[in-house]
Structure 1
Amino acid sequence: MFNKILVAVNNTEIGQQVFEEALTLTSSNNAKLLLLHVISPFDDDYLAASRMQTDEAYTNFHTHGVEYYMRQWEALKQKGIEFLTLLTNRAIAKDINAEFTQEVGDPSRLICEMARTWKADLIIMGRRGRSGLSEFFLGSVSNYVLHNAPCSVLTVQGAIPTTKNTLMTASTVSSV
């Protein structure tokens, strides 16, 4: 039986699937739910927010560039809080004891650290399906968490891209 379920979410299709799975498990176990959103320096949203415009106004006046960056950063954080608030309210509407937190840093380590601190019985998170060189160079949050979590981990599989080159049929093999 799970009493405390930590859910690592982001505002993506797989994030929505993770959240729906969490609602089902939390409700059936009458557990507490903690939604965790991590803003990572390697995330596309973070990188987009950190790009400063390069026109003359920002080049000549460094302070304007910093102010622009800070506004973008605050908007990114606010967007995350609004997303978490929406999910938390959906859970509460289903009579689930839910709360949220948003952190900045390495998602892999923060998920494990939060699970340890909050004494979670289960972590629910998504898996993008990275493998091979992509996983080697970019890392795998789910792989790290599976090997370092202080509790059980449930990964919800996202869509795995398929290409014709990766699937070999028997006729292709026999002709080689």
Structure 2
Amino acid sequence: MFSKIIVAIDRSPNGKAVFDAGLALAKATKANLMVLHILSNEEKNSPQIPTLVTLEYHPLHKELLEDYWKQWQTYKEQGIDLLRSYIEQATNAGVSTEFTQNSGNPSRNICEVAQGWGADLIVIGRRGHSGLSELILGSVSNYVFHHAPCSVHVVHTPAALKSEAPVVNQVQVGPSNY
């Protein structure tokens, strides 16, 4: 059914559930797995670059930038460590797995990696934004759902159930043409 599955993870509480769902699907279908993490300032707890206003008027602007780059390096290294832990779990489960960590816009990056790798399925989480917060913050899963070159499987954690096990829903069967 599937031969190449991308699991797009982030550092949210739902990230582990997304990985587990992708791993289960890869095991069941004997698919190759790619674990993908996108470094983005949109991710919670990512280093935030100082604003131009802060840099222009702050007497220590050079030190602010140096501090930001140190934080960004740590952030990158933590991402690689997270990916390696997932790779180890998948390998121990007998699933052929690789990983990649890119920087940029998560929505577009996930779709581009899926296209380039020839993925059959993208497994992605959904944070539960809706209405105005989704309009303002955007929705990575919504973008991927509408622009992916392959099927999309969404792992959703409703706000009321954040402390319980996530609800897993298949939301798209084939490529989207919308």
TM-score category (smaller protein): 0.7 to 0.9
1:24 aligned partner: 24
Q: How far apart are residue 113 of structure 1 and its match? A: 0.5
Letter in 2 for 1:74: Q
1:145 aligned partner: 144
Structure (1 or 2) with the greater helix fraction? 1
CA contact (8 A) 1:128 1:158 kept: yes
Q: How many residues align?
A: 156
Q: Distance in 1 between matches of 2:160 and 2:130?
A: 11
What pairs up with 1:92-107 in 2 under 5 angstroms? 92-107=91-106
Letter in 1 for 2:9: V
Unaligned runs of 5+ in 1: 53-58, 163-176
Q: Distance in 1 between matches of 2:77 and 2:50?
A: 18
CA contact (8 A) 1:50 1:73 kept: no
1:122 aligned partner: 121
Three-state SS of the structure 2 residue aligned to 1:67 is helix
Q: Percent identity?
A: 43
Unaligned runs of 5+ in 2: 52-57, 162-178
Three-state SS of the structure 2 residue aligned to 1:60 is coil
Q: How far apart are residue 133 of structure 1 and its match? A: 0.4
CA contact (8 A) 1:5 1:33 kept: yes
2:40 aligned partner: 40
Q: Residue by residue, what CA displacement relative to the aligned partner does 1:120-159 show, whole Å, maximum 9, x if unpaired? A: 0000000111111011111111111111100000001113
* TM-score normalised over the length of structure 1: 0.82
Q: Distance in 2 between matches of 1:61 and 1:21?
A: 46
1:159 aligned partner: 158
CA contact (8 A) 2:11 2:43 kept: no
**Largest Rg, 1 or 2:** 1
Q: Distance in 2 between matches of 1:42 and 1:92?
A: 30
Q: Distance in 2 between matches of 1:65 and 1:143?
A: 35
Three-state SS of the structure 2 residue aligned to 1:111 is helix
